[in-house]
Amino acid sequence: MANLKNVTKKTKAQAMGMHTEVLTGRTQQKFFNPDEAENFYYYGTYDVDFNKRTDLDVMDMTAAQANKEIDNLMSQGYGTIVIKNPQGKHSIGVGILNKLNLIFEGSLGYFGIGSCDGPIVRINGRVGWSCAENLMAGKVVIEKNAGSCFGAAIRGGDLICKGSVGARTGIDMKGGTIIIGGDAGAFTGFMMQRGRIIILGNVGINLGDSMYDGTIFVGGEIGSYGSDAVDAELTKSDQDWLKRKLKVAEIGENFDVSKMKKIVAGKKLWNYDNLEPTEKKGAI
């Protein structure tokens, strides 16, 4: 093995032999170059006008039909779309890659608002498992409860549930903020890698199990700590950030953040020194 003291941080992973494969053909590894931003085209995005508003009743539509119709409305420039009668359907409101005001009058099933990048979404009902999975940017607000795997693998944006959420909230999250007004289930923050989770209520067993990095703030009781999740000091800076975030999230504005517990990774299990390439939008 190479002498790690003599290599830069950037090449340490390669020096340790973690990247030995030879990349060929069309699947070569590519990194975003901010100098090329002007040539960048984000496929599937639209310029929309927030003042152009319409309703869409999806009662008799399949999820695919509903998503296609949302895409069609965005292509016509509609920037505020109100979805009527979602009726717990799965996989609605997915793959939206531009700014949009999307309002659901009702509840969603599994995998709602998946892989989105930029929209502001308000759901007046409940959401099922894996809501907002892979969210990259934007804001998603759920007025009632959410199922398990809430905000799985999100990379950015704000995800807010005013009620309670199920198990494995923020599993594998890589950025962004998740805010829960009520309680959260077992394995919250399981294997999270970056980002922040705020829970105003109680949280179940194995909190932050095997987390690599990131921060979890808990206002209520903790069922138990997971492997490598440890307490950390709640700083003045943390408290200021929490107050700002809760205010923006329109949730728990009068909550006493000074009594919250802060949980971070003990870094005994995992300790990666190479972070992901900066997200393209941040670079722009």
Partner 1 sequence: MCGIAGLIHRGKSSNVGHELQGMLQALKHRGEDSTGYALYGDTDGKNFIMRFKVGENVGEGSTSVAEDVSVYDERKKIVDNYLSEMGAKIVKEERILPYSLRYEIEYNKKDLLEFSQKIESIPGVEILSMGKSLEVIKDLGNAKMVCDRYNLDKLVGTHAIGHARMATESGVDIKSAHPFWGYPFSDVSVVHNGQLTNYWNNRRALENKGMRFMSECDSELIAVYLAEKMRDGASLEEGMKESLTGLDGVFTYFVATKDSLGMAKDTMAAKPLVLYESDDLVAMGSEEIAIRSILPQEIDTYDPFDGEVKVWQI
What is the binding site for partner 1 (CB under 8 A)? Answer: 87-90, 105-107, 109-110, 124-126, 128-129, 144-148, 163-168, 183, 185-187, 204-205
Q: Which residues of 171-205 are buried (b: 16+ CB within 10 A; e: fewer)?
A: bbbbbbbbbbbbbbbbbbbbbbbbbbbbbbbbbbe
> H helices within the chain, ranges in order?
9-15, 63-75, 236-248, 280-283
Separation of alpha carbons 195 and 209, rounded Å: 15
β-bridge mates for residue 54, sequence order:
81
CB of 154 to partner 1, least distance (A): 19
Closest CA to 113 of 98, 83, 129, 135: 135
**For the chain, what is the largest distance between any 2 Cα atoms, rounded to a whole number of angstroms?**
64
CB of 59 to partner 1, least distance (A): 9
| Complex with partner 1: residue 93 or 204, whichever CB lies closer | 204
| Complex with partner 1: residue 169 or 215, whichever CB lies closer | 169
| Complex with partner 1: residue 175 or 226, whichever CB lies closer | 226
| Complex with partner 1: residue 78 or 150, whichever CB lies closer | 150
CB of 130 to partner 1, least distance (A): 10
Phi, psi of 247 (to 5 degrees): -70, -45
CA dihedral for 157, 242, 104, 131, sign (positive or negative): positive
CA dihedral for 126, 159, 191, 29, sign (positive or negative): positive
CB of 133 to partner 1, least distance (A): 15
CA distances to 135, 216, 255 from 260, rounded to whole Å, are 26, 10, 10
Phi, psi of 232 (to 5 degrees): -135, 165
| Complex with partner 1: residue 2 or 64, whichever CB lies closer | 64
Separation of alpha carbons 161 and 173, rounded Å: 16
| Complex with partner 1: residue 187 or 217, whichever CB lies closer | 187
CB of 25 to partner 1, least distance (A): 36
CB of 46 to partner 1, least distance (A): 30
Q: What are 267's two structure tokens?
A: 């870094």
| Complex with partner 1: residue 147 or 156, whichever CB lies closer | 147
CA dihedral for 39, 41, 42, 48, sign (positive or negative): positive
CB of 41 to partner 1, least distance (A): 36
Separation of alpha carbons 171 and 187, rounded Å: 8
CB of 164 to partner 1, least distance (A): 6
| Complex with partner 1: residue 107 or 193, whichever CB lies closer | 107
